[in-house]
Amino acid sequence: MRILIVEDDREVAGNIAKMLRESGHVVDMAHDGEDGLAMARDGAFDVLIVDRMMPRRDGLSMISILREEGDKTPALVLSALGEVDDRVAGLTAGGDDYLVKPYAPSELKARVDALARRRDPEALKTRLQVGDLEMDLLARTVKRGEEAIQLQPREFRLLEFLMRHAGQVVTRTMLLEKVWDYHFDPQTNVIDVHISRLRSKIDKPFDTSMLHTVRGAGYRLSN
């Protein structure tokens, strides 16, 4: 799941990002409302976490503009203002949930997960399976048949993306954006290297191959 945090307190933003990344999510950050608005417009995010009071543009006007433009990405508003009128204003501006500071990190994560379920129930699957290849997203483990497969963090993320799109051709551009967070072509062989490493672990020790190159198009994982 890809999440945008818009929070002017860099320490707070960093702590939220660390927690969400440890849960396996991709996290981007902006530190004022204008940058947050620009990033929300440009990126395909699953959830927005938006502080209410920020420099250059406040969080509620940022969300309101996105809603006027037709962006329906679920938004969680964070604020020290906790009166009923404050909460109503946040929801009226287009926020989907409102969390008052200070809050427990576990509650923030639970609310983010709940918003993601509304948008895409598939995003919060904790187990993925393609044929005899299984991935446990909570335990961060992979096995094929009864054999455990040890993956590096980037290899795990790459395989997760391929498994979520099993049977489909995924392009190099898709992989660069969703696995490496690149929105440009770095002109390196980083994808080839990681695909090769992944094949050596999930295919070569077994009788049948699952990771296929589709010439001129990309890659496909299938059983």
Residue 89: give its domain's CATH number.
Answer: 3.40.50.2300
pLDDT of residue 2: 86
pLDDT of residue 113: 86
The number of C-alpha atoms within 13 Å of 30 and in the hemisphere containing its C-beta is 26
201 and 149 assigned to the same domain = yes
| Domain span holding position 22 | 2-123
For residue 9, pLDDT over 60 is answered with yes
Length of the chain: 223
111 and 153 assigned to the same domain = no
Instruction: Provide the residue type at 166 as one letter.
Output: A
Q: What confidence category does residue 124 fall into, taking pLDDT thresholds of 50, 70 and 90? A: low
97 and 153 assigned to the same domain = no
135 and 206 assigned to the same domain = yes
Q: What confidence category does residue 212 fall into, taking pLDDT thresholds of 50, 70 and 90? A: very high
41 and 89 assigned to the same domain = yes
163 and 215 assigned to the same domain = yes
Element spanning 51, H or E: strand 47-51
pLDDT of residue 91: 94
